[in-house]
Amino acid sequence: VCEKHPLTIQQAVEIGIFGSYKVAWRRFNRLVRKKRGRVLKCLGSVGFRESGRNSLVYCNGWHPAIDTLLHEVHVTQVLLPFIKSGVRIVRGPEVDRFLRPDATLYLKRGTVHVEMDMGTMGRKDISAKISAYEKSEDFVLFASLDDGRKAWLRDLSERIKETVFFVSLSNC
């Protein structure tokens, strides 16, 4: 999982890789300290949960830019149910170069591109993304941090309403 998805220890527990946070924390620390073989890289920390404490982020495969780390952890949070069920997921440099989604899910009934909206992109940038998806027959899942932003995205996505879905992380 850590080869494709930047994730926190808590997310590893939620996926079901470890039975408890304590066991996961010990294993992650052991893998980070290893010099050879199967090692794990700590990419940095993000303020991800409401607890106020920063969570360390780990990943072995591709390394997202440090300023996009929180965004990537949120994408992983959206993908947790799909990771659990073993769906083929593509992220990072392997995604479609034209659409440039945050992640792509390959399901039995079609392809779903995942876009995580952190509230930093303006109308012009979102409209450009939506225009790119107009040319695609694949489905799109827009995830946002709150319901207000989700409603705004829904209004902007009227042109692709047959192939777009929305989710708010405030409901997850």
pLDDT tens per residue across all 172 residues of the chain: 677 889 999 999 998 889 999 999 999 988 888 877 777 888 998 886 666 778 899 988 778 888 889 999 999 999 999 999 989 999 988 888 899 999 999 999 899 999 999 989 999 999 999 999 998 999 999 999 999 999 999 999 998 989 999 999 876 5
Q: Distance between CA 34 and CA 133 in Å, rounded? A: 43
**What's the CA gap between 93 and 105, in Å, rounded?**
15
Phi-psi label, residue 37: left if phi above 0, alpha if psi -120 to 50, beta otherwise: left
Phi, psi of 164, deg, nearest 5? -120, 145
